[in-house]
């Protein structure tokens, strides 16, 4: 009875008391126990050797045998017994022969109760990683590098991995869970044969009431989507989505009207509510502008001689009214003013004004998908992930910092290149942009793309949007940026005690230079970093782009559906014409409303 009671009391002892007991046992000649948790992808793990290391000492090489590891589990717990207290564990070494399995991370709990986590996210390959043989470690890095070479997929695109989807290295492929999620969100929705499940989105419409057929099977009651569907044609909702929709990066403060957009005070006087002239409103900071100059002259898709598609390069002027609502007050559907390119106003015929706004939002859809979303989150994050694999060893602290955020980007983009933006992909079916047009848009976007535009505070300031009202994208984004930067700065200061240590880190300098090469050797991206502050900002930009920025631009599509005319992805002419734009050319402006191609109201084309 006494023995049983003693065991029960010992089991109930706090961690600190257990630690003291274990240390006491050690001094009495007994071993100490380190508890390990190994995270995998659930596949079979074979025998391997493990060594625990602190700053000053290490354990013996311990054989962890397959029977001891158990069956196919994603998390495997086991104990390692040592004869001495190693102190704080700073490194775990794995060695193996004829083995190949995925290691997510290893968590170590010391006898004193301290926990140490070691991210890996790599496949353990046939190459044996000897604990003190740097030559073999370099061989492993060389092997990985050979499998991750740069290539420019199409003209104008940034560099990407030189591999097709089924050729991707194991390290960058989806794991079972991610592949299952992506299959559900992507393949079932967009790559089914003939896209039969979305047939309604590819049919012609002649009047707004036709949209009710598309949404007949949706339960939209009391949802944000319901509000957008009901109010999409209002000036308030049109302007609000430039601030907090899925493409909130196009709008900027307008201090001076461009010559190509000759809006006069007389044109917009009825929209100005403060009794000021247009020039005075400009000086007061109440005027905003959205300009799609990047689309000027871009060739539209030509799929059928009787169904011409059109691309516009519109300019839209917006006004901050007395209710702090950003509303449109003038729209020009091309980059050149004149008789064939009139300026549409809110007091025009209501259908003309509605259609002018739809053409603006159609251009916005294409730029959002190709530039804001695809290029400036997906493809750019792939450059960061590629450079990380190519230049940083798996034990480098920056590798461990970045890997959870950029992981799977290469795999997602490889899938997208083969199924979404290829010649017969989903995007070509739903948009007005031709294949050569996509390349031209990418080329133009890359020419003006800068590293500083990835730094959120700098991007907001560059557009003069520091004091725009109800700009929740800015307010939330600043908080997230500051939180990430604070954390990253702490990590940087742990591993780099001076600016000189940053400059002398060969791997970091090669990583930054490789990113610049991946951006087509752009001079707009740094080729080296000199200070701790610069490194912290750079890493913050990488993490923010792949996480918070992508989320804002991707998942915002849930509340900004193209199906209701809100953001039509493609428009083409029909018999009803614009009263003022009958002579517009196909690349300069529309001749009327028309066929509508949409996408599913969900996460969007690119995940």
Report yes or no: 169 and 121 within 8 Å, Cβ to Cβ: no
Residue 187 has a pLDDT of 46
Residue 199 has a pLDDT of 40
Determine the length of the chain: 607
Give residue-wise pLDDT tens across range 230-249: 778 899 999 999 999 999 99
For residue 287, count CB atoms less than 10 angstroms from its CB and return exposed for 0-12, middle for 13-18, buried for 19 or more. Answer: buried
| String of DSSP letters for 458-495 | HHHHHTT-TT-TT-HHHHHHHHHHHHHHHHHHHHHHHH
Q: Which two tokens stand for residue 276?
A: 């000021």
In order of 100, 153, 206, the CA distances from 550 in angstroms are 33, 22, 35
Q: Which two tokens stand for residue 504?
A: 């002398």
For residue 310, count CB atoms less than 10 angstroms from its CB and return exposed for 0-12, middle for 13-18, buried for 19 or more. Answer: buried
Give residue-wise pLDDT tens across range 205-225: 556 566 555 555 555 565 566
Q: Which two tokens stand for residue 389?
A: 């694999």
Instruction: Determine the Cα–Cα distance for residues 292 and 312; give it in Å rounded to an integer.
Output: 8
Residue 142 has a pLDDT of 38
Candidates 476, 483, 487; CA nearest to 536 is 487
Three-state SS for 4? helix
Alpha helices in 203-309 (DSSP H): 211-214, 224-231, 235-244, 265-268, 278-284
Residue 305 has a pLDDT of 67
Q: Which two tokens stand for residue 413?
A: 């983009």
Strands 91-95 and 101-109: unpaired
E-only strand ranges, 345-464: none
Residue ranges for the chain with pLDDT beneath 50:
1-29, 67, 126-146, 180, 186-202, 574-606
Burial 341-373 (b: 16+ CB within 10 A, else e): bbbbbbebeeebbbbbbbbbbbbbbbbbbbbbb
Residue 5 has a pLDDT of 44
pTM of the model: 0.79
Report yes or no: 420 and 428 within 8 Å, Cβ to Cβ: no
Residue 587 has a pLDDT of 37
In order of 7, 17, 416, 464, the CA distances from 607 in angstroms are 53, 49, 9, 30
Residue 252 has a pLDDT of 98
């Amino acid at each position: 009875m006494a023995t049983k009671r003693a065991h029960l009391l010992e089991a109930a002892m706090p961690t600190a008391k257990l630690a003291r007991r274990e240390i006491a046992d050690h001094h009495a000649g007994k071993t100490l126990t380190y508890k390990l948790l190994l995270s995998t992808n659930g596949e079979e793990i074979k025998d391997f050797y493990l060594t625990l290391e602190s700053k000053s000492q290490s354990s013996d090489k311990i054989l962890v045998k397959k029977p001891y590891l158990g069956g196919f589990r994603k998390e495997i717990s086991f104990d390692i017994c040592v004869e001495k207290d190693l102190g704080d564990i700073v490194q775990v070494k794995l060695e193996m022969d004829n083995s190949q399995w995925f290691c997510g991370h290893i968590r170590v709990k010391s006898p004193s109760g301290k926990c140490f986590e070691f991210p890996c996210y790599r496949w353990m390959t046939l190459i044996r990683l000897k604990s003190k043989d740097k030559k073999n470690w370099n061989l492993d890095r060389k092997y990985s590098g050979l499998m991750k070479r740069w290539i420019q997929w199409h003209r104008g695109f940034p560099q990407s991995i030189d591999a097709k989807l089924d050729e991707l290295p194991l390290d960058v492929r989806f794991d079972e869970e991610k592949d299952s999620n992506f299959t559900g969100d992507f393949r079932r929705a967009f790559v089914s044969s003939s896209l039969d499940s979305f047939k309604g989105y590819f049919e012609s419409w002649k009047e707004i009431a036709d949209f009710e057929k598309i949404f007949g099977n949706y339960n939209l009651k009391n949802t944000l989507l319901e509000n957008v569907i009901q109010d999409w044609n209002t000036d308030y909702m049109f302007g609000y989505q430039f601030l907090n929709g899925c493409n909130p990066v196009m709008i900027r403060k307008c201090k001076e009207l461009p010559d190509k957009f000759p809006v006069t005070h007389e044109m917009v006087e009825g929209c100005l509510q403060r009794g000021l002239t247009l020039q005075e409103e400009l000086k007061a900071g109440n005027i905003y502008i959205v300009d799609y100059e990047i689309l000027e002259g871009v060739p539209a898709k030509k799929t059928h001689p009787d169904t011409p598609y059109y691309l516009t390069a519109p300019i839209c002027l917006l006004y901050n009214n007395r209710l702090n609502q950003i509303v449109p007050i003038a729209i020009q559907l091309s980059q050149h003013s004149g008789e064939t390119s009139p300026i549409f106003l809110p007091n025009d015929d209501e259908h003309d004004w509605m259609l002018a706004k739809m053409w603006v939002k159609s251009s916005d859809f294409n730029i959002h998908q190709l530039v804001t979303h695809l290029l400036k989150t997906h493809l750019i994050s792939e450059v960061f992930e590629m450079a990380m694999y190519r230049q940083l060893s798996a034990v480098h602290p920056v590798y461990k910092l970045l890997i959870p955020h950029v992981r799977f980007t290469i795999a997602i983009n490889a899938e997208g290149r083969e199924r979404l933006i290829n010649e017969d992909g989903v995007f070509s079916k739903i948009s007005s942009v031709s294949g050569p047009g996509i390349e031209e848009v990418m080329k133009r976007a890359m020419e003006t793309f800068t590293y500083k535009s990835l730094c959120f505070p700098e991007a907001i300031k560059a557009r003069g949007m520091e004091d725009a009202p109800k700009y929740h994208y800015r307010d939330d984004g600043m908080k997230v940026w500051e939180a990430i930067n604070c954390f990253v700065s702490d990590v940087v200061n742990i591993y780099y005690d001076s600016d000189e240590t940053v400059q002398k880190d060969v791997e970091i300098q090669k990583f930054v230079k490789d990113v610049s090469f991946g951006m087509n050797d752009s001079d707009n991206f740094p080729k080296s970093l000199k200070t701790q502050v610069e490194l912290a900002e750079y890493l913050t930009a990488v993490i923010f782009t792949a996480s918070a920025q992508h989320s804002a631009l991707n998942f915002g599509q849930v509340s900004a559906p193209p199906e209701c005319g809100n953001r039509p992805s493609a428009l083409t002419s029909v018999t009803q014409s614009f009263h003022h734009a009958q002579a517009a050319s196909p690349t300069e402006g529309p001749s009327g409303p028309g066929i509508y191609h949409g996408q599913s109201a969900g996460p969007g084309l690119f995940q």
